[in-house]
Homo-oligomer: A and B are copies of this chain.
Amino acid sequence: MSQFQPRNPDFETRLRASFSRQRAMQSIGISLVELSPGRVVLEMPFNPDFTQQHGYLHAGTVTTGLDSACGYAAFSLMAADAEVLSVEFKTNLLAPAKAPHFRFVAEVVKAGRTISVAEARGYGVDGAQEKLIASMTCTLMAVPA
């Protein structure tokens, strides 16, 4: 259960509309599977089109999932007239991104009026097994829409 109260009671409609406009999500195959105030879970099946030289998911693709998860986790707590912008993020690659399925879980750590901070973890999922493959800390900014 999140510690945060949404500033916009209708955050879910607005967030899902924004997510559906992120064409990168569709091209890579990332979908939104869980959403609550300050917390977002995205998932994708392994996609050979976005691999690096050893056939694992490219670190940039993992980062794309983690960044979108962080961005929407922060966005879920922003005012109804705000847009969200990633200021910066850092990804640590903890294990090869080699699994049939991936899961990106983001939670807000700080929900300021201007600056928010979210943290995310990326998991490789194989049946009931989940392995931590990456982590992100992301700084985001609310800007007038």
Question: A residues near B, CB below 8 A?
Answer: 18-19, 21-24, 27, 48-54, 58-61, 63-68, 83, 85-95, 109-110, 114-115, 117, 119, 132, 135, 137, 139, 141
Contacts and interface: CB of A to CB of B under 8 A. Distances in A.
A59 B94 CA distance: 21
A21 B51 CA distance: 9
Contacts of A48: 23
A38 B18 CA distance: 37
Nearest to A27: B49
A32 to B, nearest CB: 13
Q: Is the interface of A mostly helix, strand, loop or mixed?
A: mixed
B22 A58 contact: yes
How many monomers of this chain does the complex have? 4
Given A24-B49, A27-B49, A51-B24, A92 B64 contact: no
Contacts of A95: 110
Given A86-B59, A91-B88, A92-B117, A49 B64 contact: no
Nearest to A65: B60
A49 B63 contact: no
